[in-house]
Structure 1
C-alpha cells in the first residue's frame, strides 16, 4: 500500500512539473498577428524574386519593429489589394498594412492608426503626352483596383471626361501603358520611382491635392485594442528617428 502511494505521489509530482513547464512555454510564446498585404507595391511591400520569396519593404520593416516592441510575432499573407479589408472582416488576417489611405469609405468598416507616411500621386504617360490633369480628357486611365488612386481617377472623371480601367497589380498597369492599351496610369510617387528610373520614355506629373487627403495608415477591425497599441509605437518611431531611418532606407533622401 505504501509502495502504491509512493508511486502515485511520484506520478503527481511529474505531472505537476510537466504542467508547469507547459504553462511556462505557453506564456513565453509570442502571440501571432497575421498581416494582410498586397506584395506588388514596391517599396512598401514586394518580393525580390532574384534573392528570395520573402516579402520585404517599408511596411514590413515598420510592422516588424512594432511587433518587437509589443511582443508580437508577425506573419504576412499576400493577396490582391481589393480583397484586403474583406479578408480582415472575415478574420483571415488580423490587420492590413499596404500603403493604405484611411478614406471615409474605408473607415466605415475598419479602424485606422495615425498616418505613418505621406506620399504624392502621379499621372504617368508615355513621352509626356499628359502635361496637366486636364490633358486626360477623352483618354483611358489605368488604376489599381480598390486603391486610393482609383478614387483619384473618379474625382478627375467628375471634372474631365475619362475612361477608367482597373487592374489588380501595379506591374500590370505599367504593361498596359507600355503596350498602349491605356493612355496614362495613376500611381503613388514612391511606388512609381523605380519604374520611372528604368523606363525613360515615361513621364509624370503630380496631382494637386489637399494635405489631409494623402497618407498611409494601418487598418484594424472596428474596436481593436491594437489600434492604440500600434499608435504608441508609431509615435515612438517618429520621435526617436526610427521612422525617418526607414524612410531613407526605402525611399532615399528625397522625402
Structure 2
C-alpha cells in the first residue's frame, strides 16, 4: 500500500468525524501499519480526548513553527502490531488564532506530506469546510470522505460541503452516513450506531463486531485503498485481516 493522505470531512458539527477517523486508524494499525492522525478541527480540539498523555506540544505549535513533527505526535494506546500517532489540538486561544492563518495552512500541508514519508497512512480529522486548516487538509489529501449524520440536516450538509469543495477545485470520493438508521442519505457507506460513544471506549472496531467493524472496513477500503480480507466470526474476533 502506498501512503495515502485521507481527509475525513464533517458535513456538520457533531457528525462523529473524529471517532470514525480514529476507528479507521485503529483498524489499519491492527494490520501492522503505522498511521498518523491530524486534528484540523483546532477549534473543538476533539482528537485530544483519545490520548491519556500530557499534551505539551500540539498541532497548533506545529503549524506556528514552535514545535517539530516528532514532538507533536502522541502514540495511542492499542493492542496490536501497528501504531497510531495522534497529532491533536490542545492550545490556548492566542495560539489557536495564530494557527488559523494562511501561512499556518501552508505549513500544515508541508507537515502532512512529511508525515506521509514516515507513516503508511495519514488521516485528517477535518471540520466543515470554512477555515484555512480545513482547506489545507482537503488540498493535500489524496482522497476525501464526507461524514454526515443520517438526517435531513446531514443531507443538507453534504450538499453544502460538495459546493465548498467545488469552489476550491476538489471533489469527494465517498459519503459516509454515520449512526445510520433512517436511510435518508444517498451514501457510499452506512455506519451503524455504537453503544459506547465516549473517547475512552475507542476503538470499537477492534476487536471486531458483526456490524460496526464491517462498516469501518468499507471506509478503509474506499478511502485508504486497501483490499480487506476479513473474517468476522460470531465470537467477534478478527481473523486474517488485510492481505
Q: Tell me if TM exceeds 0.5.
A: no
TM norm structure 1: 0.26
More helix by share: 1
- TM-score (structure 2 length as normaliser): 0.27
